Chains A and B, each alone.
Chain A
Amino acid sequence: MIAGALDTKSRLAAILFSIAAAVVLGGLVVGLTGANPVSVYLEIAKGAVLGRGLDETLARSVPLVGMALAAAIALRAGLVNLGGDGQMLIGGLAAALVALYLPVPGAARAVLALAAAICAGGLYAWLAAILQLNLGIPFLIASLLFSYIARGLTSYLVRYPLRDPATGMPETYRVASGARLPAHIFDLPVSMAMVIMVVVAVVVVVNDRSGVNGFEWRMTGLNARFAQYSGVDLSRQTQRVAFLSGAMAGLVGALLILGQQYRFTDGALLAPGYTWSGLMAAVLAMASPIATIVTSVFFAALQVGGFSMERALGLPAVLTWVLQALIILCLAARPILFRKR
């Protein structure tokens, strides 16, 4: 894939180059519409960090970092997980069910809901891995197709058996306030979801840099045959990595339900496109977890800035998605543009 044999320095250079080139190209596009690219970029930057922008960027970073790490964990080990949507839905649904119906006290319910989401998302991805291992259906395809099944299933459930008839929407009842994740801890502008994501991200980074497991996953991603010769049980590892990648997506679903939306509304989890932004961030970071965190926070800021730019200038915020895509295209084109010989 793109994550070739680049050392840290040239990887950083590649990322920065791609961003710079995309900014120039995006500027040209903006210029063609008659708007002033400089003021557009200025609005995006201001919107992302000034005033409430910073809070919004941080809030959006939580699911984006999560989905990006879910993609990166798999990518690092040589698996492409395109099923983040499905795993996030199943995780979110599991969290909602536990939070709504499990008869235990509030805080315990929240903890169990998180655990259920992690297991459900993980198992859902694990199933796709089993299809690859036993039936030879590539994980990339199976995980993607499973997303459609999850969409159909959750959509049906919240429309019929789990529906809150009081609202006109296809959605579940609201999670009781005791089972929610607090939006502020000690009145700080820090949510519980944020704290959880920081802890998880640290674990992922440490495991990648120094963990024995992280080392095995990375070497497998670089050369699976060599890993097999060196004693890695590829089948077991594929199952594990798939599970953890899905678990991460499931956790994101739970954090969104318990910390932000408080109920499972059909389509609400997928609307912001976290899975795909996350995947792009992971690809841009060439699956290195630290770089993935940086790129996904950057994408979150870009998106928040885009909305604010839309309000200020009336240009569509979708421009930021164009920028994201341009960045990835520039990254892919870089080896052709700069053949180092």
Chain B
Amino acid sequence: MTLLEMKGITKRFDGVIANDGISLSVNRGEIHALMGENGAGKSTLMNILYGLLKPDAGEILVDGKAMDFTSPLGAIAAGIGMVHQTFRQFPNLTVWENLVFQNEPRQGPFVSADAARDFVRRLGSRHGLEIDPDSLVRDLAVGIRQRLEILKALSREARILILDEPTAVLTPQERDGLFSAMRELAGKGMALILVTHKIPEVIAITDKITVMRDGRVSGTLVTRGTNEAEIIRAMVGRNVPPTVASRVTSDARPMLSVKDLSVRKGAVTVVDDVSFDVRPGEIVGIAGVSGNGQPQLISAVMGLEPATGVVSIDGQDISRLPIARRRSAGISYVPEDRHLTGTAPAASIAENIVFGTHRNAAASSKGFLRKDAIRAQARKLIERFRVKAASEQLPIGSLSGGNMQKVVIAREVEHGSPLIIVEEPTRGVDVGAIEFIHQTLIAERDKGRAILVVSSDLTELLALSDRILVMFEGRINASLTGSDMNEDTVGRWMMGGAENR
């Protein structure tokens, strides 16, 4: 029983065909995966379905009826909901205020808060997605914020739910919660479309898979009858062997040395007396369930968060320096949020690549930019990191999510700093690119750089790290090497450690 059908969808951006005659059909009660390399056109297709973009050609049928959306309002009315990768919420309002926004239950001219709270509770229990209507959104964990996003779609009677890379920001527990909610919704006859790069998830939860490549459908697979290798082949047209790094131990003098670092937020100590070293020629991974102080630790090391304790680079105390001076003392940094802090989306790719090193001799002389050299360098990196971009002059914001991430990594690696700090190196990046980024980081390690990686993806940390530090409640409660670096042991320490042994 087909609920949604998209036929011959085509969308061009100047110079690029993002969608080239895409057809997709999803049945009632089906969880359908949409996969493909970075820039394959997945987000474009979903934005068309949700009425955010207008297709150049093609049609959308819901329940057999042709639709013509001029805005998301039309899509919502047709029963389509979307959970965006970046949440669209009011952080300073409560859950119920967010949920009933533009759909408020009224009592005379006023919003009836009681009716709204009641509505939220009933909606939550109907779908098994309970949530406290009175919490402030900014206080919620990411997983709960996502639940709110799903509830928002459900509150508008969605029958088709799009989830664009929903698990990228979730902990394993939150992910499992999401999956059981998805199964429940599918069981009620909804159609769900899951955009993701994570193959194990696709195998675990979906019924059908549509794989896109270069704006076309390159394969439609039934999940039960396929396997990881076949999916990857459809995605990238070749086999991608996973990177297995040989582990090394380094006894060089520490490049980064953190001593007794603490960060306090009001009465709460979010980073509690943390000490560790990162030596040249090693990759140190920081694991931990989200909310245990990892981002605050990195912010404190970078000088973005007031902290006590000592941070030094190559023996030089940098604890009192502002971020700019810390970076010039020898740190490259890939921040977690590339839109907010990693790029200026409206500036060109080349400008985004050179920014930060634009005062070096390679990029400028006597106060003037060497534009040709800057563009040549950008072209070189675009090619080397296989960024899918028509030209280095385009705004970086027009790149697909994964390609943007590749540009940021390329820039920071190319910096040549002795220490590289990377938060979530492969968030939103496709399989091929994950392997490429991993190999790049390992190659930099082998050149003698010190690398610190924070990731919520344990598989990634296990593949990359020579040593794993586990954070729990603001402390580093384990430093694991060798045979202790396996999913089980690390996982146990992530949950609190010793007593679970």
Contacts and interface: CB of A to CB of B under 8 A. Distances in A.
A229 B322 contact: no
B345 A211 contact: no
Contact of B368 (A210, A223, A226): A210
B203 interface: no
B355 A219 contact: yes
Nearest to B356: A230
Given A228-B323, A229-B333, A222 B369 contact: no
B368 A229 contact: no
A219 B344 contact: yes
B344 A223 contact: yes
Contacts of B328: 231
Contacts of B324: 228, 230-233
Given A210-B369, A212-B367, A223 B343 contact: yes
A213 interface: yes
Interface in A163-222: 210-213, 215-216, 218-219, 222
A256 to B, nearest CB: 31
Given A215-B351, A215-B358, A210 B371 contact: yes
Interface string B345-386: 111000100011011000010011101000000000000000
Contacts of A216: 358
Contacts of B344: 219, 222-223, 226-227
A4 interface: yes
Contact of B369 (A211, A225, A229, A232): A211
> Which of A7, A232, A233, A341 has the most B CB atoms < 10 Å from its CB?
A341
A136 to B, nearest CB: 17
Nearest to A213: B367
B295 interface: no
Given A229-B335, A233-B324, A341-B53, A215 B346 contact: no
Contacts of A5: 345-346, 395, 397
A218 B324 CA distance: 18
Contacts of A7: 395
Interface residues of A, number: 23
Nearest to B328: A231
B346 to A, nearest CB: 4
Contact of A341 (B54, B327, B364): B54
Nearest to A10: B14
B238 to A, nearest CB: 35
A341 B341 CA distance: 26
Contacts of B395: 5, 7
A231 B327 contact: yes
A5 B395 CA distance: 8
B323 to A, nearest CB: 7
Contact of A212 (B53, B54, B322, B358): B358
A218 B358 CA distance: 13
A222 B347 contact: yes
Interface string A221-264: 01101111111110000000000000000000000000000000
Contacts of B367: 211-213
Interface in A36-53: none
A72 B333 CA distance: 32
B105 interface: no
B331 to A, nearest CB: 11
Contacts of B397: 5
Interface string B35-63: 00000000000000000111000000000
Given A223-B344, A226-B342, A231-B356, A212 B323 contact: no
A152 to B, nearest CB: 39
B340 interface: yes
Contacts of B358: 212, 215-216
Nearest to A5: B346
Contacts of B327: 230-231
A225 B338 CA distance: 11
A300 B131 CA distance: 60
A226 B322 CA distance: 14
Interface in B107-124: none
A302 to B, nearest CB: 30
B317 to A, nearest CB: 19
Nearest to A233: B324
3 closest pairs, A vs B, by CB? A5-B346, A230-B356, A231-B324
15 contacts: A5-B346, A5-B395, A211-B368, A216-B358, A219-B344, A222-B346, A223-B345, A225-B340, A226-B340, A226-B342, A229-B341, A229-B356, A230-B355, A230-B356, A231-B327
Interface of A: 4-5, 7, 210-213, 215-216, 218-219, 222-223, 225-233, 341
Given A212-B359, A223-B345, 7 more contacts: A210-B369, A223-B346, A223-B347, A228-B323, A231-B328, A233-B324, A341-B52
